[in-house]
Amino acid sequence: MSHLSHSSSLNKVLRQQYLSLPQEDLCLVTYVWIKGVDLHIKTRTMDSVPKSIADIPEWHSSGSPVFEILLAPVCMFRDPFLLDPNKLVLCEVLKHTREPGESNHRNSCNKVMEKVKNLHPWFGMEQEYTLFGVDGHPFGWPRFGFPKPQGLYHCSVGADRAFGRDIVECHYKACLYAGIKIGGINAEVMPSQWEFQVGPCEGIEMGDHLWMARFLLHRVCEDFGVVATLDPKPMKGDWNGAGCHVNVSTVHTREEGGIWHIEKAIENLRKRHEEHLRVYDPHCGEDNKRRLTGLHTTSSITEFSAGVANRKASIRIPHQVAQDKRGYFEDRRPAANCDPYAVTCTIARTCMLEEEDVHELE
């Protein structure tokens, strides 16, 4: 059991005894915020149950040895761990001067989404991740050597092929309880690798829901004593990496003849390939260099490509979309550890904003 955390072996029945104690009219509100690529939380007691995000006050936390940061609530969810009436609240991070924090990509994303809201942009993101033990070994893999080669595991079933389904399904139910727009789950190509889909979400909601879904994933994994990594290439060698493909549409691409708008968006993306790659992982493309090799169902990081039903292209037009001549396109370049605010913001700027609007935001 050395691959599991010590806390996972604690008596969960005993824990349930305390969770079931009444809390009168009080409400526990857990603040969740993003710092770099990590998530942080802390909880406070409120005298009443908040009816909306406006009822939840700002809070502060230590941001550096000198200055505090402000936690500004932006989105509220039900708490699947402490249960109703308790809440989870996603927060923007502000400096003590009330300017956005260094890793606060939501602020700039929201400005762009406000500019394009008449296009009703819909996003769906496919979050791949890999389960590891706390000892750094892939969950379910042999202690020595490797599992059977890839080919058996995608959408698989069976104890010798699907590792960690309990975790995955508990996360699924936690997301549904919380109110996250989770669309589905599946086992991925590499053993112990899984995917969940969030969306369709409109505008800024995409980043809000995906970040909270990530928080729930890490929190569920904590209970099971394992670790979920978003590393884009968690295992070297002949193993698939992990991405976060984003599906994109607007009112124009969804209506009759929308394929013209899809093709125009793809041409705009082609012109800004390198710019997008710098945004699509938190290390300005360095993480994606390990993943986007042209192998393992990826495009090459050095070349932009697009095609119908082509899962090795940078941009895929689904077969049904090509037939219907309207719908959405899929950008397959974002890494698993991308910031969804930064990704959707950059796509909206490239594909939906007029030049004068871009200059206005700069």
Taking all residues of the chain, what is their mean pLDDT, rounded to a whole number?
95
Give the per-residue pLDDT at 73: 98
| Residue 348: pLDDT over 80 | yes
DSSP 223-276: HHTEEEE--SS-S-SSS---BEEEEEE-HHHHSTTTHHHHHHHHHHHHHTHHHH
**Are residues 321 and 259 in contact, defined by beta-carbon separation less than 8 angstroms?**
yes
Helix (H) / strand (E) containing 222: helix 205-224
The pair of structure tokens assigned to 138 is 């892939």
User: What is the C-alpha to C-alpha distance for residues 330 and 90, in angstroms, rounded to an integer?
Assistant: 27
Contact by Cβ (8 Å): 229, 109: no
Assessment of whether the complete model's pTM goes beyond 0.85:
yes
pLDDT tens across 15-45, in order? 999 999 999 999 999 999 999 889 999 999 9
Per-residue pLDDT tens for 248-295? 999 999 999 999 999 999 999 999 999 999 999 999 999 999 999 999
- What does the pLDDT read at residue 109? 98
pLDDT in tens, 140-160: 999 888 999 999 999 999 999
In this prediction, what percent of the chain has a pLDDT beyond 70? 96
The whole-angstrom distance between residue 96's C-alpha and the CA centroid of its chain comes to 27
Q: Please, what is the Cα angle at 262 between 259 and 265, to 5 degrees?
A: 155
- Domains of the chain, CATH where assigned: 20-103 (3.10.20.70), 112-361 (3.30.590.10)
Q: Which residue has the higher pLDDT, 67 or 228?
A: 228
DSSP states of 61-90 as a string?
Answer: EE-SSS-EEEEEEEEEEE-TTT-TT-EEEE
Give the pLDDT of residue 332.
98
**Structure-token pair, residue 237:** 């060698």
Tell me how far apart the alpha carbons of residues 242 and 230 are, in angstroms, rounded to a whole number: 7
Q: How far is CA 311 from CA 138, 193, 257, 284, in A?
A: 26, 18, 24, 23
**pLDDT higher than threshold 70 for residue 361:** no
Mean pLDDT of 185-192: 97
